[in-house]
Each structure stands twice: as structure tokens, then as C-alpha cells.
Structure 1
Amino acid sequence: MTTEALPGELRVRRPKEKEKLVQQLLVENDGIFVTMAEALLFAAALGWARNSRKDFEKSESPIRFEVFKKTQTGEAFIDALAVMATPGDAQILSEARAQDRIRIFEEYAHGGLAVLQGELNTTRSTVTDTLIGMVRDACVADRDRSSKVPDDIRKILSRPDWS
């Protein structure tokens, strides 16, 4: 199997300096993600949520963009991230700017991996335990934010009780 890109074939890079962490995120290494694409999608979402976007030069073997397109929401997430990162740039979704969208995604994924590495360094826990803790903390923070919503508005926004 070759890792060389065909002319015009889109590839998603992953930062060489975070390769050990990317490998730890995979199920085969006691992580929780089946594929590197899933791990990078999570990392990019974390990067966006924590406002962490980092450029990088050196990368490991890139992943074919087709892998992301095969996930249920991968391509849509990458496109949405680019739109949110470049407000007012209507051309970001043009076919000619596909590589720009991928670069934005790569940078947020790198930023998210840096955030995760920082959490791992702080907690000294396993990758899985750290991820579970981060998700739990995010749920508590979300619940705290929603508790500040007035009761009448919360009732309107809540799921209907069909019982």
C-alpha cells in the first residue's frame, strides 16, 4: 500500500510530534477510537472547543480524505469547522479551497491533541480515563450553563413528555 498521494488526491496530515498520542487513542492500543480519522475528528472538535489551533510542519503518513468522507459526519464536520474558522469567507466551501478546509481541520486537530496531551500530563491517567473525565466535565459544565436558563425557557427547550 502506498502513502504517496495521486495528483489531485486530498490527504489529511497528522502532526509527527503527536503521533505517539494518536496511536494511544486507538482501540488496538487500549484507546477508544477505531480509526485515526475518528481520533483526529475528536481532536479537532476539542481544539475548536478549547480555542486551540496549531500549525505544524512535520507529519506522519497522511490519511486519504476518502476515509473521512466514509464516516457519517466527517466531511460535514470538516466543512463546518472551516466555515466557523473563516467567518465572512463565502469561498471557503468552493472545490478550489478543499485543501484550505483540510489545513484548518489539521490545525484544530493538532491543537486538540495538544490540549489532550496537557490533560494527560496533568492527570497522569490513561488516555481512556482522561477522555472520560473530560467528557464528564463537559457534561457538568453544560448542565451548569443550562441551569442558568430561566425555568419557562428551559421548559420550552426541553424534550416533550409523551407519557
Structure 2
Amino acid sequence: MTTEVALPGELRVRRPKDKETLIQQLLAEHDGIFASMAEVLLFAAALGWSRGDDGRVPLKAHGEPIRFDVFKKMATAEAFIESLAVMVSPGDTEILSDSRALDRVRIFEEYANGGLAILQGELNTSRSPVAETLIDLVRDACVADRDRTSKVPSDIRKMISPRPDWS
């Protein structure tokens, strides 16, 4: 990881240049469902993370970066980016320090890049409209999550479910 420090107002999130057409396609103004490029990258990073190590791909080249302040204005984006970094760097007590902001952003960028590659593959394979492919990916993730949850003992599942049953 780097130790390069970026001033808070200067921190930028890079977009993968080779996925620029896909990013544009995912925007609402071009038949997609996302209102901003930041939303596209957040979804892509979550998709990349859900696929494990295959979902993390370093950027080779990047397009116009997005100011990190754009992400900070979104309700949970910064927490998501920080969470990715913590999960990737267990035991690294410094990963959330101000001096490591660039490291956290780079981890996020790599998962977003990987998620975009996965999404592009799904679109190429399915030949379905963008919105339909996104819905299928979310549905698949919900089924996978349900399968993981079904392996948790029922008494524990009751305690951690959104509406606990304390009877």
C-alpha cells in the first residue's frame, strides 16, 4: 500500500478508462438506472466484493476522476469504502487513519473495476437490457445471502434477523 497523502479536498476516485462506455451505459440518462457515476462505482464495488478475490482488479488506466467529496455527500458511501478497506486489511490498525485515505480509495477503485468487469461479462453473456441484468445480479446475491443465512442455527438467526422473534 502507499503512504502517499492527499489533502481532503484533493482526494479523487479514479474511473477505469476501459470501462467508460459501460459506466455511461449504466447512467439513467443512457438507459441505465444510476443517477451518477459515483452510484455506478458503489454498486460495482459491492458486486466486486461479493465475488471475492476475482472481484478485485487493479486499474491499468483511468479516466476523469471523481472528487471524493461527491461520495462523502452520499449517506453511506464513505462508510462502505472504509468498510471495504477494513475487511481487506484485517489487523491493519492504521487503515482508517487520515494518512491512509488514498489506500482506502485505491481498494475501492479495484473492487469497482472488478465489479464493472463482472457486469460487462454478464451483459455480454445475457444480451439482456441493462436494468434486467442488474436486477438478476441483485436477485442472485439475495439468494446466495439466503443460502448463507440458512446455515446459521435458527436460535441465532432469530436474534440477528431484522425483526427478532423473542418469543
TM-score scaled by length of structure 1 = 0.88
User: What whole-Å deviation, never above 9, does each CA across 1:110-148 have from its counterpart, x for those lacking one?
Assistant: 011011111111111111110001111222222333334
Change (3 A) 1:122 1:12: same
- 2: distance between equivalents of 1:94 and 1:146? 33
What is the aligned partner in structure 2 of residue 137 from structure 1?
Answer: 140
- 2: distance between equivalents of 1:83 and 1:150? 27
User: What whole-Å deviation, never above 9, does each CA across 1:17-37 have from its counterpart, x for those lacking one?
Assistant: 001111111111111110100
1:87 to 85, 90, 93: 90
How many pairs were matched up? 156
- 2: distance between equivalents of 1:152 and 1:124? 43
- 2: distance between equivalents of 1:149 and 1:160? 14
Change (3 A) 1:156 1:65: closer
SS at match of 1:112: helix
- 2: distance between equivalents of 1:150 and 1:12? 41
Q: Which moved more, 1:132-141 or 1:46-55?
A: 132-141
Deviation, 1:157, is 3.9
1:67 to 60, 70, 76: 70
Please report the RMSD computed on the Cα atoms of aligned residues, expressed in angstroms: 1.8
What is the aligned partner in structure 1 of residue 42 from structure 2?
Answer: 41
Change (3 A) 1:133 1:99: same
Deviation, 1:49, is 0.7
TM-score scaled by length of structure 2 = 0.86
SS at match of 1:90: coil
Alignment of 1:12-161 (within 5 A): 12-51=13-52, 52-158=55-161, 159-160=163-164
- Kindly provide the amino acid, as one letter, of the partner of residue 11 in structure 2: L
- 2: distance between equivalents of 1:10 and 1:155? 42
Q: Which runs of 5+ in 1 are unaligned?
A: 1-6
- 1: distance between equivalents of 2:82 and 2:159? 31
Change (3 A) 1:119 1:155: same
Q: Which runs of 5+ in 2 are unaligned?
A: 1-5
- 2: distance between equivalents of 1:157 and 1:99? 34
